[in-house]
Amino acid sequence: MRVVVCDDSAVIRGLVTRMLEADPAIEVVGRASNGREAVEAVRRTRPDVCVLDIEMPVMDGLAALPELLKVDPALRVVMASTLTTRGADVAMRALRLGAADYVPKPTTTGAIAGEASFRDEIVAKVKGLARQRRHGLGPARPVAAPMAPRPAAPPLRAAAAQAPAILAVGSSTGGPQALFTLFAGLGRGFPLPVIVTQHMPPAFTPILADHLSKVGGPPCAEAKDGETPLPGRAYLAPGDTHLILSPEPGGPKLRLSKTPPENFCRPAVDPMLRSAVAAYGGRVLVVMLTGMGQDGLSGSKAVVAAGGRVIAQDEATSVVWGMPGAVAQAGLASAVLPLGEIAGAVTGITGKGARA
């Protein structure tokens, strides 16, 4: 898997190169100190993935992105964004302009060198996106492809015939791009409240919510403690905070919690799903999108046990088939679908198609 690394810091270029090349499946075939050099390196080496810094002299990452995609429209570009509000905003804008993913970059060289989570994330994203390029797939252009037989979905319980009262979405690695596709497919006319947990730092979640509101789906905002979930609105778990539903006398309320991380994550999908069952019983519809690990597995078990349904993204269109794969392989998914087909399946279940 061939990669170009672009960063204006020679030290960071070296660190990222060593992290990537520690995996025998990855070869760094070019390095660049600014966007103009990255364009030339991509033209010369034809990599699968370019890891692109945002703030650089001569040509910054956002200016370089369209030039890179002109050279190679199938190139997968991963934006390396600082953990700041501005970095988050630029990263989300880049995703909507054609970047495949982003990776939040610690603010100091020492933190980058010593943070295993950064290493694991960048390696997983590079490998997943390179695999998609090799198979002609991508988060923004999901296409069905030959893959291993899908696990058989369990027969739907009688309770699953109830109309869902809420849509709960879990995602992680590769999730923002997948969420853009899902929300655009749901449309403004989606009739249910939507709750979303995306593994993401605090600086990024309000920016993600704002960008999700701009793709034509349900208006989205970071959840606030004590809110009533309303039809046609989406609520995103704030960074470093679990989003849960509380059954209360006047109806379910959104609650924010600083209880310990689950599956090494806060926010985590499992507490969101368990609480959704407590508030809505079997009237919960779950969509499990791309992500590392198995966060959401135990919560999905609770949903299915109560009579709810789970739809999982398929392996071919996932950057990492960890979270949706765990649900599918456990036999909990009533459907395992390419990303581009999930919104249609959801609106089919809710009984109302998306509309602008």
Give the neighbor-by-neighbor strand order of the sheet with 2-6. 27-32, 2-6, 49-53, 76-82, 101-105
Identified catalytic residue from 81, 199, 211, 275: 199
Which token pair is 201?
A: 């730092």
The domains found in the chain, sorted by start residue, are 2-134 (3.40.50.2300), 158-350 (3.40.50.180)
Cα gap 347→217, rounded to integer Å: 12
Cα gap 78→5, rounded to integer Å: 10
Residue 338 binned pLDDT confidence (cut-offs 50, 70, 90): very high
Q: What are phi and psi of 325, to 5 degrees?
A: -65, -40
Identified catalytic residue from 295, 300, 318, 334: 295
User: Is pLDDT above 80 for 285?
Assistant: yes
- pLDDT at residue 85 in the model: 81
Cα gap 120→296, rounded to integer Å: 20
- pLDDT at residue 211 in the model: 94
Is the distance from CB of 356 to CB of 188 less than 8 angstroms? yes
Residue 353 binned pLDDT confidence (cut-offs 50, 70, 90): very low
Residue 261 binned pLDDT confidence (cut-offs 50, 70, 90): very high
Whether residue 295 lies in the annotated active site: yes
- pLDDT at residue 157 in the model: 40
- pLDDT at residue 136 in the model: 75
Give the residue-averaged pLDDT of 314-340. Answer: 96
Which segments within 210-344 are labelled E, that is strand? 220-222, 234-236, 242-246, 253-257, 284-288, 309-313, 335-337
- pLDDT at residue 352 in the model: 58
Identified catalytic residue from 8, 89, 171, 172: 172
99-131 pLDDT, tens digit per residue, is 999 998 876 666 666 678 888 999 999 999 999
- pLDDT at residue 152 in the model: 38
Helix (H) or strand (E) holding 175: helix 175-186
Provide the CA 224 distance to its chain's centre, in angstroms.
21
10-38 pLDDT, tens digit per residue, is 999 999 999 999 999 999 999 999 999 99
Structure-token match 């995306």, residue found: 198
Structure-token match 């989300």, residue found: 92
149-160 pLDDT, tens digit per residue, is 334 334 334 344
Cα gap 332→178, rounded to integer Å: 21
What is the secondary structure of 95-139 as a DSSP string? HHTT--EEEEEPSSHHHHHH-HHHHHHHHHHHHHHHHHHHTT--T
Q: Decide which of 278 and 88 is more confident.
A: 278
User: Is pLDDT above 90 for 68?
Assistant: yes
**pTM of the predicted structure, to 2 decimals:** 0.87
Q: What is the dihedral of CA 133, 60, 32, 92, to 10 degrees?
A: -30
The strand pairing partners of 15, in sequence order, are: none
CA-nearest of 169, 250, 239 to 204 is: 239
- pLDDT at residue 113 in the model: 62
Average per-residue pLDDT for the chain: 89
